[in-house]
Structure 1
């Protein structure tokens, strides 16, 4: 991209101050919006939109920023203060005159409220929509129901419950933090190359992705070392990736006493013991091992032939009994705890839960507000308290479109007869389609 890009359009060629000045001319000096728009070059529709905002909310409460947040009317702090005012007003709570004149709670109240409930404004991590909406009560309950079924059917003790997952090891590691002079913008650390080669690392623990052909090899390795049988089966919990749907692997698992339980899609960050408590530690020690290797081998890049030794260095430090057992405990798998997740854990999926239910969770900040302003001693004159959720309901996604011919993934017992038969039929149909295309 050129350093000084030449504009090819007049779109938003005006500044925040120019927009503010134009709005003042219309709202305070009572000039014609058509005239002001013509003089300033600001689109009349844009000008009218901001004039309406100013009339409704007041000049000081409108955001004139033309960046990504230009559509926001209030800042986060103002939203909370405004909600507190609306909540108190709806429940006839005695409030200061300053709240009434500004139509929002005061700043001092907000800071005191945040202090009392240990709240702070923080920048959230970027999380995909699929991840946040798939981790919902329905999917999680379905998984725990399947887990309970196989545990009750086969009587698995803790030592017979395993988790299988993959992660990627790359020849270009993430360097550790280094000490540098304050204010220095660019701080470098030698790595093997700019772009590396990914090698899949498969882990199976008791209490990168691979191709489906490799799953059979992994299960054969598992049988060789853990000795499962039909009379003494073992349970393996794994994610929902397509590589785990090999018919050959499912046949081998069933013949050798391996029960395969599949997690719901996009729920590994909460339900996969390896993801929850082991892999993060492994990546940290792996990057440290790579950094040490680079120091001891100056001028040489890391290749795939060095990865086995690097993994061998990081593995015993991260795959410890404590980390592994914590992973099973935090996910509610072992010991079995289907209530391990709270209402707040499912809050991200609330926007797509259809239809809306009065029992759905609301944000902790709203609950704290509800409890605080509804506590004994406040002069409420109504018997039923109006909750913040009623005043400002959470937005809900629109109704789903017509169902497409796409089979939705879910938690299943892969080695169960009906599930396995359905997978075999689906695989047969796919093979017939491939053959037909080749004949054409």
Structure 2
């Protein structure tokens, strides 16, 4: 394909001649040539069977940049999170693709705090908690997620509540701290959409600027790695940094 494109671009052959000479599909060759003439960076590497590239080289560089940036902030992506980021980028760029449909909630299961300890027998400890969960599950109430942020100077962002229900009821906020925010999510977990709403709240109370950016220390939850969250943070002068896995009990004083 590369040689065929070069021959046509250099006016050494017609597209038909190059396609016949190098045994490449003429329609694909014409598409590559048209894209290059429009100034679009295109790969001329052969395709793998029936699979076609979704992203141009320029778009791939953007994707790699996001991944490297997250890794540098101690927020590496696992496979599921990476595929979701790829899906988001393709949707944002309005590119036709065959990636999985969007999943509204991405939640990486958190390892138990016992991983932090030394000298425990992991299988036995896991067995204990499995038995404990079985015994108490029927009596367990519904979880409510509360996102709280504070500064080293003692200033707080109002609490952000996520209630396990389909529709928000303002009565749930009775007696909540002033200016608290409540949202509804069927499973009561934080997701990327809600975390982005919280980021708007964070900007309101932290007032980051280009001259005075704000450092936001996180725990590496999947919602922090969302493409819209990343871009919002960059636009609003928020430097996100995650603690390494299983270290929040030592590095983040707010962890209980």
TM-score clears 0.5: no
Sort the TM-score into its range (normalised by shorter chain): 0.3 to 0.5
Larger helix percent = 1
Q: Which has the higher contact order (CA 8 A, sep 6+)?
A: 1
| Rg comparison, structure with higher value | 1
Using the size of structure 2 for normalisation, the TM-score is: 0.38
Using the size of structure 1 for normalisation, the TM-score is: 0.24
